[in-house]
Amino acid sequence: MYNFKKIEKKWQEYWEENNIYKAKDDYSLPKEYNLVEFPYPSGVGMHLGHIKAYIGMEVLSRKQRLEGKNVLFPIGFDSFGLPAENYALKMGIHPKIVTKENEANFTRQLKRAGFSFDYSRIFSTTDPEYYKWTQWIFCKLYEKGLAYKDHTYVNYCPNCKVVLANEDSQGGKCDRCDSDVIQKEKDVWFLKITAYADKLLEGLNEVNFPDRVKIEQENWIGKSTGAYVNFTVKETDDKLKVYTTRPDTLFGVTFMVLAPEHPLIDKNKDKISNMEDINNYRLEAQRKTEFERINLVKDKTGVKIDGLTAINPVNNKEIPIYISDYVMMGYGTGAIMAVPAHDERDYEFAKKFGIDIIEVIKGGNIKKEAYTKDGEIINSEFLNGINNKKEAINKIVKYLEEKGIGEKAIQYKMKDWAFNRQRYWGEPIPIIYCDKCGTVLVPEEELPLKLPELKEFKPGPDGESPLANATDWVNCKCPKCGGPARRETDTMPQWAGSSWYYLRYTDPHNDKELASPEKMKYWMNVDVYNGGTEHITRHLIYSRFWHRFLYDIGAVNTKEPYQRRTTIGLILGSDGQKMSKSKGNTVNPDDVIDAYGADVLRCYTLFMGDYGAEAPWNDQGVNGISRFLNRIYRLADHVVEGSNYTEKFETIINKTIKKVSEDIDNLKYNTALSELMKLVNAYYEEETITKADFRVLLVLLYPFAPHLAEELNEKKNLGEVICKSSWPKYDSEKVIDQEKEIAIQVNGKVRDTIKVPNDASKEEHEEKAFASEIIKKWTDGKEIIKVITVPGRIVNIVVK
RNA sequence: GCUUGUGUGGCGGAAUUGGUAGACGCACUGGACUCAAAAUCCAGCGAUAGCGAUAUCAUGUGGGUUCGAGUCCCACCACAAGCACCA
């Protein structure tokens, strides 16, 4: 086995000394910006997932540099957030110190794996010089009315004692600790991402994201169109406003349902005779965990509100009002008009409570179930006879608008981004509360608002932020009136720093702006952004929102940050299960590098399978890659003088250049490597190969196994160091084999093969095909109906 | 429940986009080298029948379109991911 330890260290030093990783601010060069999701530097160091996530862009970047492109391939650290703090709590060291140690360790590991990041651009989200601009963006959002404080029910993790955004509590579980999330009434800072819902949807049209990513984001945003309808409440002057996507069924409404928290109830409690029942129900609903709510879908519960009656504005019918937890305060208006004949949930509720069911759309059997499809409208006065849903909706909405009892409306599932966390290790929110002036921004010249040094940074028992203890820091002067004031003690969520980091890479040490406009103009957009699927409805949405906001205020010049998004598949344990410490199926990349070298680790993670699909780790597979690289190492002994390709290899070399080049661009690394293996196998068929033959193999190998490629190139004196050379070009005339093997079918079944020159005519194919003894055997005595010949592909003879 | 994927040898996976299914690698079997082992090299390797040339079957299941289907269409099954009472 070759001495990879010596070789790899040597070349890593050479590359770094020669600055080959550095992106140049030379705007005349064609640029490529390849981005990977920067890591949270955990104490245990890098795992295989990091390697796989980075190696894809790494190979692409190394190739593009040889193609003469100015490549920005940066790395940094996303070091704020709960995990860093929990780790620091556990180890009893200040998060700042722990973070810096971990970052240093990560950097060492990255270099050891041979990653060609531009290390001169490293920064951490925890650097005050960086989070100054995170805070600045918050200020801009606040100035534009897109950051606001509200006292409301929010997702809250009782274990982490922290408020969570919707995106942090998908499936009703806390993203961090998997505890059941509860709804808690809190003071919450929100970012008005819903104001950008449409822009986020539109933006998807101009980017190259996989369909899956687009669909998931569309679903998460969850746009629906319908109408608001104002019902009157008979006993009061109040209107009861509902949102519906089916205003065409308005004549089928037989009851109304309010969310348990709906304000109409408390407002009219004097008029309600069963307030006690209602309050009991509300308490019970609040106690239910998300899990129970989901699993009790079929079992509808609720209470009728005695004393309040709604009136249907289209026919003045009196209808009862219920409360039920199947209606949620957070969507629409927190109240619905129930049409049991044509909505499954309303149907179940009506059946359970014995409420009338009025059919207004023909076509189903409402005695058995709700009918939710299209049909002719009946029992609906002026809508009767319409057979088309769209038409009916248009007509009724027009009617509602004319009468002033309703209007067209749009709703989104996405909610505003709950933005404050009751934690120490995050960016302080630059807000000051003054008794006289109210809520005031920290002035721009005072940014960064630095985190105060604190010894005790555990959150309070009821979720108070640890920053509240830093009294010297909390008590301050109001920037407006100079009077006594207090600082906001909550910090930003961990997603804040990662929402704009790709901009900072273009100009990481700028102390005057978040990045210089010229540099952003040159480098943006990110050309390829590679990362995990878990961020599709989190980081990827948030950063698209911030970027679009920055565009709207003129801070950046593109609407979307990422031109192309690619996703990576997980590396599973050798048992096919997700790698986890508890299962004992983890593999430490450092161990692999120790045993086989970085080049083997790099190639193996790419050869395992499709880059976008998950695949199990296999130690013997690693060994196979090691064998492959050693085979190349030994191939050096077969090299003889010669500046031309060996004639026999001309075609395969050109083919390989073509395939490897295309495969890298398409992120199909596994087949690129198999192509290189084929070339090596072909070389071994001859006693000798020329220097030119060997050199082209090494250059193609270089993005994958750069250390070995450079070493052999130097050892055999084949030319300039590869990192300063150029990517080989292929001759498109030479990628075609001179002679091709063609299958001959009889009735669609392959019976024989023939060899024809690559430019053979149709007639030549058929002539040769019919000359075959085997084909004669299959066609003799049969009637030939037709012959299908695709030159270069196939000859199919149809007989009867 | 809804949405989106995926399903190919013992295993990871290829397949020019409708044209010789199983490239490449792993594992395995036999052989060479060696005192021996490792490493390396050579040969074989979907299933069934046959000494063999060869034949039949075979890409989750069942149907269809086509000269020809892993690839297109319909139905079903299994697994994975995402969403989840969104009115």
pLDDT, tens digit, 9 for 90 and up, residues A477-493: 999 999 999 999 999 99
Encode pLDDT of A763-792 as tens digits.
889 888 888 888 888 888 888 888 999 988
Residue A748 beta carbon within 7 A of nucleic strand B: yes
Tokens 């809190």 — which residue?
A: A186
- pLDDT (0 to 100) of residue A460: 75
Window A400-429, strand B contacts by Cβ < 7 Å: 411, 413
Window A646-675, strand B contacts by Cβ < 7 Å: 668, 670-671, 673-674
- pLDDT (0 to 100) of residue A160: 80
Is residue A726 pLDDT above 70, yes or no? Answer: yes
Sheet holding A475-477: strands in order across?
A: A438-441, A431-434, A484-487, A475-477
A54 vs A563: CA distance, rounded Å: 18
- pLDDT (0 to 100) of residue A792: 86
Section A240-262 average pLDDT: 94
CA of A502 to C1' of B81 (A): 27
A210 vs A566: CA distance, rounded Å: 7
Instruction: Give the strand pairing for A162-164 and A749-757.
Output: unpaired
The nucleotide minimizing the C1' distance to residue A795's CA is: B19
Residue A747 beta carbon within 7 A of nucleic strand B: yes
A316 vs A349: CA distance, rounded Å: 23
The nucleotide minimizing the C1' distance to residue A330's CA is: B86
Instruction: Please report which confidence band the pLDDT of residue A736 belongs to, taking 50, 70 and 90 as the band edges.
Output: confident
A537 vs A507: CA distance, rounded Å: 28
Residue A749 beta carbon within 7 A of nucleic strand B: yes
Separation of CA A794 from chain center: 43
Residue A567 beta carbon within 7 A of nucleic strand B: no
Provide the greatest CA pair distance for chain A.
108
Instruction: Please report which confidence band the pLDDT of residue A7 belongs to, taking 50, 70 and 90 as the band edges.
Output: very high
Sheet holding A565-567: strands in order across?
A: A70-72, A31-36, A528-531, A565-567
Instruction: Please give the DSSP secondary-structure letter assigned to residue A57.
Output: H
Section A277-297 average pLDDT: 72
* Structural Rg of chain A based on CA atoms: 33
Encode pLDDT of A58-67 as tens digits.
999 999 999 9
A343 vs A335: CA distance, rounded Å: 15
The closest of A352, A327, A351 to A337, measured between CA atoms, is: A327
Is residue A290 pLDDT above 60, yes or no? Answer: no
- pLDDT (0 to 100) of residue A294: 53
The closest of A739, A798, A747 to A765, measured between CA atoms, is: A739
A604 vs A618: CA distance, rounded Å: 9
Alpha-helical segments (H) within A365-516: 389-403, 471-474, 501-504
The nucleotide minimizing the C1' distance to residue A169's CA is: B83
Q: How many residues does chain A have?
A: 800
Encode pLDDT of A178-237 as tens digits.
777 877 888 899 999 999 999 999 999 999 999 889 999 999 999 999 999 999 999 998
Encode pLDDT of A694-723 as tens digits.
999 999 999 999 999 999 999 999 999 999
Task: Give the residue whose CA sits closest to B66 at C1'.
Answer: A748
Task: Give the residue whose CA sits closest to B69 at C1'.
Answer: A748
Task: Give the residue whose CA sits closest to B2 at C1'.
Answer: A219
Structure tokens at A467: 């920053």
CA of A615 to C1' of B60 (A): 20
The residues that bridge with A224 in the sheet, in sequence order, are A411
The residues that bridge with A503 in the sheet, in sequence order, are none
The nucleotide minimizing the C1' distance to residue A742's CA is: B20
- pLDDT (0 to 100) of residue A508: 97
CA of A225 to C1' of B18 (A): 41
Structure tokens at A348: 């179940």
Tokens 């130690």 — which residue?
A: A619
Residue A220 beta carbon within 7 A of nucleic strand B: yes
- Map residue A553 onto helix, strand or coil: coil
Encode pLDDT of A257-275 as tens digits.
999 989 999 999 899 999 9
A720 vs A519: CA distance, rounded Å: 32
Beta strands in A180-302 (DSSP E): 182-191, 223-233, 239-244, 255-258
**Is the distance from CB of A41 to CB of A106 less than 8 angstroms?**
yes
Name the average pLDDT for chain A.
91
Task: Give the residue whose CA sits closest to B85 at C1'.
Answer: A326
Instruction: Give the strand pairing for A70-72 and A31-36.
Output: parallel
**How far are the Cα atoms of A208, A496, A601 from residue A613, in angstroms, in the given order?**
19, 29, 18
A329 vs A311: CA distance, rounded Å: 21
Instruction: Please report which confidence band the pLDDT of residue A623 belongs to, taking 50, 70 and 90 as the band edges.
Output: very high
Instruction: Please report which confidence band the pLDDT of residue A289 belongs to, taking 50, 70 and 90 as the band edges.
Output: low
Who's near A316: CB < 8 A, 6+ residues apart? none
The nucleotide minimizing the C1' distance to residue A610's CA is: B13
Q: Which helix (H) or strand (E) holds A38?
A: none
A63 vs A669: CA distance, rounded Å: 12
Window A460-479, strand B contacts by Cβ < 7 Å: none
- pLDDT (0 to 100) of residue A250: 95
CA of A55 to C1' of B25 (A): 20
CA of A189 to C1' of B85 (A): 28
Q: Which nucleotides of B are covered by protein (CB under 7 A)?
A: 3-5, 11-16, 19-21, 23-27, 39-42, 55-56, 67-69, 81-87
CA of A515 to C1' of B82 (A): 35
The nucleotide minimizing the C1' distance to residue A222's CA is: B86
- Report which of residues A581 and A669 the model is more confident about: A669
Window A164-203, strand B contacts by Cβ < 7 Å: 166, 170-171
- pLDDT (0 to 100) of residue A296: 52
- pLDDT (0 to 100) of residue A194: 93
The nucleotide minimizing the C1' distance to residue A680's CA is: B24
The nucleotide minimizing the C1' distance to residue A750's CA is: B20
Section A4-27 average pLDDT: 94
Supply the ipTM of this predicted assembly: 0.94
Alpha-helical segments (H) within A80-173: 82-91, 95-112, 128-143
Terminal alpha carbon distance of chain A? 61
The nucleotide minimizing the C1' distance to residue A626's CA is: B25
CA of A393 to C1' of B32 (A): 83
Is residue A121 pLDDT above 90, yes or no? Answer: yes
CA of A58 to C1' of B41 (A): 35
CA of A693 to C1' of B30 (A): 34
Is residue A295 pLDDT above 60, yes or no? Answer: no
A88 vs A99: CA distance, rounded Å: 9
A509 vs A511: CA distance, rounded Å: 6
A485 vs A439: CA distance, rounded Å: 10
**Is the distance from CB of A71 to CB of A116 less than 8 angstroms?**
no
The closest of A464, A511, A598, A558 to A4, measured between CA atoms, is: A598
- Report which of residues A404 and A330 the model is more confident about: A404
**Is the distance from CB of A393 to CB of A200 less than 8 angstroms?**
no
Q: Phi then psi for A201, rounded to 5 degrees?
A: -70, -50
- Report which of residues A703 and A570 the model is more confident about: A703
- pLDDT (0 to 100) of residue A452: 92
A236 vs A144: CA distance, rounded Å: 38
Is residue A293 pLDDT above 60, yes or no? Answer: no
HSE (CB half, 13 Å, CA atoms) of A393?
A: 15
Lowest mean pLDDT among A26-40, A331-345, A679-693, A725-739: A725-739
The nucleotide minimizing the C1' distance to residue A785's CA is: B67
Lowest mean pLDDT among A351-365, A459-473, A580-594, A644-658: A459-473
Instruction: Please give the DSSP secondary-structure letter assigned to residue A312.
Output: -
The nucleotide minimizing the C1' distance to residue A668's CA is: B14
The nucleotide minimizing the C1' distance to residue A211's CA is: B4
Is residue A41 pLDDT above 70, yes or no? Answer: yes
Instruction: Please give the DSSP secondary-structure letter assigned to residue A36.
Output: E
**How far are the Cα atoms of A314, A460, A753 from residue A84, in angstroms, in the given order?**
58, 18, 64
The nucleotide minimizing the C1' distance to residue A301's CA is: B85
Structure tokens at A572: 């599973």
**Is the distance from CB of A30 to CB of A523 less than 8 angstroms?**
no
Total-model pTM:
0.92
CA of A745 to C1' of B84 (A): 52
- pLDDT (0 to 100) of residue A453: 85
- Report which of residues A570 and A37 the model is more confident about: A37
Section A722-743 average pLDDT: 90
Residue A770: exposed, middle, or buried by beta-carbon count in 10 A (0-12, 13-18, 19+)? Answer: middle
What's A222-244 look like in SS3?
A: CEEEEEEEEEEECCCCCEEEEEE
A244 vs A335: CA distance, rounded Å: 10
Section A384-410 average pLDDT: 92
CA of A10 to C1' of B49 (A): 60
Structure tokens at A133: 């601009």
Task: Give the residue whose CA sits closest to B16 at C1'.
Answer: A793
Beta strands in A138-210 (DSSP E): 147-157, 162-164, 182-191
Section A130-143 average pLDDT: 97
Residue A291 beta carbon within 7 A of nucleic strand B: no
The nucleotide minimizing the C1' distance to residue A329's CA is: B86
Instruction: Please report which confidence band the pLDDT of residue A31 belongs to, taking 50, 70 and 90 as the band edges.
Output: very high
- pLDDT (0 to 100) of residue A459: 74
Structure tokens at A523: 């480098």
